[in-house]
Amino acid sequence: MAKVLLVDDAAFMRMRCAKLLTENGYAVDEAENGQEALEKYQNIKPDLVLMDITMPIMDGLTAVAEIKKVDPNAIIVMCSALGQQNTVMSAIKAGAKDFIVKPYQPEKILSTIKRFIG
Amino acid sequence: MAEELMTGDNQYVVFRLGREVYGLEISTVLEIITMQTITEVPGTEDYIEGVINLRGLVIPVFNLHKKFNLLGGEITRLTRIVVVEVEGSNIGMQVDGVSEVVRIPGEVIEPPSKIMNGIDEEYLLGIAKLEDSLVILLDLAKVLRKDDTSMLDNFS
Amino acid sequence: MSLHLDASPEELKIFLEEAEEHFQTLEEDLVRMEKEEFNEDLMQEIFRASHTLKGSSATIGHNRMAQLTHAMENVLDKLRKRQIEVTSHLVDIFFECLDCLRVLRDEIINDEESDLNLQDIIAKLSLEAESDAASVQKEAETPPVTGKAVPEQNDGSELERSAGSSLELSWEEKDAVQHGAEEGAIPYWVRIKFNVEPEMAAVRTFVTLMAFGEIGDVIISKPTAEEIEQEKVSDCLEMLILSRAEEESIKKLIQELPDIEKFDVSNYSAPESSSGQPDNIEAAPKEVVAEPVTKGENSEKAGNGAKILSAKKTNRTVRVDVELLDGLMNLVGELVIDRTRLFQILNMMETEHEMDDMSQDLGRTSVHIARVTTQLQEHIMKARMLPVENLFNKFPRMVRDLSQKAGKEVDFIMTGQETELDRSIIEEIGDPLIHLLRNAVDHGLELPEEREAVGKNRIGQLKLQAAHEENHIIITIKDDGKGIDPEAVRQSGIKKGLVSEEQARRLTDKEAISLIFMSGLSTVKKVTDVSGRGVGMDVVRNNIEKINGAIEINSIVGKGTEFKIKLPLTLAIIRALLVSIGEAVYAIPLSTVTETIRIQKKQIEYVNNHEVIVVRGKALPLIRLKTVFDGSISEDEREKLFIVVVNLAGQQVGLVVDSLVGEQEIVIKSLGKYVGDVQGISGATILGDGNVALIVDVSNLIKKVAS
């Protein structure tokens, strides 16, 4: 079962996303900020990371850079809101593979994840 | 509620109060327990015997004899506390003995009439005529409602 | 009208909880934002709160909340980048937003759209967001950083017009194509038209370009990677790539890519004539091969957001329903009762039977269970604790608004926000604190001119402090205002018939001031729309005593007033003194007990037909609990009596009981609505022997004596 690490500071968003992913056969782990994501990434080695951008303690952009340092092959998809174009761009340059725009459309999340990890 | 009564069969817990037989719809009855040590609560209505400990829950015990002005009510080895649930609260009712659970068809239930001695007809749902006895069906919510007039009396 | 939100009840619950947290963050931070110097961390926190609300509300389909938070975010983004400045007016607007957000939140709770109109507030926000454009440009003559890219020669129309042959290859690029072809790579010409939110077009284009980088070399693209970064994009992307992949697999890759409306892939054949010719070198744009850029000029930007806020600790937490916590607390209450019961049984065994190995074993196990129960109780109590911060958060804004309205200048200082209290106590204590703070601003503190006239700083001080003290929490509200005149309270008390002239004369100043806690006493001459002095002080006292707390007042004329509120750590379990009256056992909350005295019957004296005893030179009024509860006035046969001295809000009374049973932790249980309010009884508890004991309502009894 493919593992997805869900990173978002809003429990609500995690809950919703986790539900969608579990229902579609993914194993889901959650982190509520970049720092925790980095720790969890090293422990559970997820196949893909869904990364929110605006978070306390460590933001998504920094987390992408940090995770890429430990695993250059990490597959990270940014979750952005409208108006964060610059940050998403920086994240892509830092090694994120793709991005999804909030509010999430379930099909879009699934097709994006599927494209990378099947 | 009344319409429901008229149409279908319902099961009732049947118990004695003095010389009369009363029934409570089975869904309102949680359990029937033997007599307990009752802690009197000063300054309450006289039909509130006090409170008991029901597995960690403090619940009041009503004395229906006093509420309905019936004879009897002495504590014997048959005395039981019928624990009911009304509007989310658990309440005990001290009765003279619980006989059985019976199924009463809606058609044998008649609306309350003034012939009943002692009890206000407003407390009743109806009277069931069974082969060997009359069972008075109680409207629990009304029986246990704290009537406002007596509360005012308390204050004055 | 129903909202038709796209979320399950469970999801909405989490959403609402989180929303409330963000509201509180905003509430607190907005006040700080106005008061403090620019603080990047603070601004980021405010931005995050608004941003997260935006994302979540859009997800559940609460479009109006998403709209408002989006508009807020635009302004907040400029604030954090210091493109606009914080003004009092702006803070007002944000507070207005917060009020609107709460209305919108309530729409979810009620599942009904309110008639709140957001147009005005959104218009105000966009006005603020625009306010920088003019000023910043005037000062620095630089275009706004976040401004949209100005379409240049690479705009969509040109791309469209020249579609099919717009990619002019430089000499090096042609060479690269040539070289690649020799090594077996095929040059493809790819054209893509996107179907994407215009705001995200640049990133989408960029990601797409990167995706091709993974299956081949991008020789040239239009727009170029540089242009994409500068947001000079349209909805089209053209490129020439060199790849070893089949045409079909390239098409397949494109099909999998998101946001693509249509595309075209064809084999590229370099124009024969120009092959190998180094023409147009100057005219051709210098292309940067699109490769993942991890370092470079943008790393600085990345570093900006890379601050690790060490101040906040990263606790591992889970969310737990309050009901579950209440349930756990009840279960622990049961255990506490059984613990007591267990020891009673053990005692009986020891006295009535020989202690054998088995009963000794039972004894040891009981001791262990008792210890575990105590620990469990402590842990669950801790789990129910919240820092008072959650409550205090809203006060700075409240004080700010109140003082503005009253024309006063107030320096509001809060300390001890980290102090923890049981959440149900926090819920109960909110209203009393609001009332006391209002009173302090309205009546305690003087107007700036008045203060200056008596030589005080024109800015009044109002302190709210929470602290842990032994088994209690003390909350203090202190102002340096005009204080309360005991003489005025005495006169008022006499006028209202609360005390006789004689009684009033005998009261100490502190006792006199404490009269304000009695109902019906008010010394205020002018009642503002906010609060009247004294009005509601009895309510404040009742609310605090209801949760087994106590309130005390100290005031010095001209110097200020201090309220001290003593609260138990938890509501459910308290320490109590068990006493017996006839057959019955009653529990008296230990927090109210000052001392117990044993007296001779003949020590009792009479004042105005009331029983009193003299303790350390002061008359202490007595209440015989037997008389209160039994109604019987039976003359006590005993020569020796036990007096439990209780104290609340500065008033002392001696409760006469038959004997003292002991001190014990008790679990408070309600008597339920069918028993109703009982004079002198606040609830019940279950004793170790399984019987029910009633808890004495000390505050109620003291009031009875006073009246």
Q: What is the mean pLDDT of residues C175-180?
A: 75
CA distance A22 to C143: 47
Residue C308 has pLDDT above 50, yes or no: no
Q: What is the mean pLDDT of residues B72-99?
A: 85
Which residues of chain C approach chain B closer than 8 Å at the C-beta? Answer: 330, 333-334, 337, 584, 628-631, 669-676, 678-681, 684-686, 690-694
Residue A14 amino acid letter:
R
CA distance C694 to C685: 6
Contacts (Cβ under 8 Å, ≥6 apart) of C408? C441, C445, C446, C447, C448, C460
- Widest CA span of chain A, in angstroms? 34
Angle at C651 between CA C649 and CA C653, to 5 degrees: 130
Q: Is the dihedral of CA C451, C455, C457, C462 positive or negative?
A: negative
Instruction: Kindly state whether C319 is in contact with chain A, defined as any CB-CB distance less than 8 angstroms.
Output: yes
Over chain A, what is the mean pLDDT? 87
Q: What is the mean pLDDT of residues C342-347?
A: 81
Looking at mean pLDDT, say which of A37-46, C301-310, C674-683 comes out highest: A37-46
Residue C360 has pLDDT above 50, yes or no: yes
Distances (CA, A) of C549 to C191, C388, C544, C570, C699: 75, 16, 5, 10, 10
Kindly list the structural domains of chain A, giving each domain's residue range(s) and its CATH number in brackets, ordered by start. 3-117 (3.40.50.2300)
Alpha-helix runs per DSSP H in C387-536: 389-392, 395-406, 423-439, 448-453, 486-495, 501-506, 509-514
Percent of chain C residues topping a pLDDT of 90: 11
- Single out the residue of C473, C477, C476, C475 nearest to residue C420, CA to CA: C473
Torsion angle defined by CA atoms of residues C179, C181, C182 and C184, in that order, rounded to the nearest 10 degrees: 130
pLDDT confidence of residue B146: 57
pLDDT (tens digit, 9 = 90+) per residue, B16-39? 888 888 888 888 888 898 888 899
pLDDT confidence of residue C545: 82
Q: What is the mean pLDDT of residues C178-187?
A: 77
Q: What is the mean pLDDT of residues C374-389?
A: 84
Local structure of C312: helix, strand or coil? coil
Q: Which residues of B touch C685 (CB under 8 A)?
A: 58
Residue C82 or residue C476, greater confidence: C476
Is the whole-model pTM more than 0.90?
no
pLDDT confidence of residue C44: 86
Local structure of C52: helix, strand or coil? helix
- The minimal CB distance from C302 to the residues A65, A88, A101 is found for A65
CA distance C106 to C112: 8
**Following DSSP, what letter does each residue of C650-678 receive, concatenated?**
TEEEEEEESEEEEEEEEE-B---TTT--B
Strands laid side by side in the A27-31 sheet: A27-31, A3-7, A48-52, A76-80, A98-101
Annotated active-site residue C51? The verdict is yes
Q: Which structural domain, as residue segments, surrounds residue B70? A: 2-155
Annotated active-site residue C45? The verdict is no
Which tokens hold the place of A98?
């793709």
Give B 16-45 residues with CB within 8 A of chain C.
37, 39-44
pLDDT confidence of residue C270: 52
How many domains, chain B? 1
Over chain C, what is the mean pLDDT? 78
pLDDT confidence of residue C361: 82
pLDDT confidence of residue B152: 35
Instruction: Kindly state whether B125 is in contact with chain C, defined as any CB-CB distance less than 8 angstroms.
Output: no
Q: Which residues of B touch C632 (CB under 8 A)?
A: none
Q: Which residues of C612-635 are buried (b: 16+ CB within 10 A; e: fewer)?
A: bbebeeeebbbbbbbebbeeeeee
pLDDT confidence of residue C437: 92
Residue C684 has pLDDT above 70, yes or no: yes
Q: Domain of B22: which CATH number?
A: 2.40.50.180
Residue C198 or residue B63, greater confidence: B63
Contact C116, C103 (CB under 8 A): yes
Q: How far is CA C275 from the centre of its chain?
A: 70
pLDDT (tens digit, 9 = 90+) per residue, C620-646? 889 888 888 876 665 556 678 899 999
Residue C278 has pLDDT above 60, yes or no: no
Residue C304 has pLDDT above 50, yes or no: no
Residue C294 has pLDDT above 90, yes or no: no
- The minimal CB distance from C675 to the residues B37, B48, B56 is found for B48
Q: What is the mean pLDDT of residues C376-393?
A: 84
Q: What is the mean pLDDT of residues C185-214?
A: 80
Touch B-A: 3+ C-beta pairs under 8 A: no
Residue A117 has pLDDT above 70, yes or no: yes
Kindly list the structural domains of chain C, giving each domain's residue range(s) and its CATH number in brackets, ordered by start. 9-140 (1.20.120.160), 156-276 (3.30.70.1110), 322-383 (1.10.287), 387-484+523-568 (3.30.565.10), 573-706 (2.40.50.180)
- Categorize the per-residue pLDDT at B153 as very low, low, confident or very high, splitting at 50, 70 and 90: very low
Q: Which chains would you list as touching A if contact means 3+ CB atom pairs under 8 Å?
A: C
pLDDT (tens digit, 9 = 90+) per residue, C526-555? 434 334 444 578 888 888 888 878 888 999
Q: What is the mean pLDDT of residues C449-471?
A: 89
**ipTM greater than 0.95:** no
- C contact test, residue of A15, A93, A104 with most C CBs within 10 A: A93
Q: What is the mean pLDDT of residues B84-104?
A: 85
Percent of chain A residues topping a pLDDT of 90: 27
Residue C147 has pLDDT above 70, yes or no: no
Over chain B, what is the mean pLDDT? 78
- Single out the residue of C658, C618, C616 nearest to residue C634, CA to CA: C658
Annotated active-site residue C439? The verdict is yes
pLDDT confidence of residue C521: 65
Residue C505 has pLDDT above 80, yes or no: yes
pLDDT confidence of residue A51: 92
Residue C404 amino acid letter:
Q
pLDDT confidence of residue A95: 87
Contact B91, B59 (CB under 8 A): yes
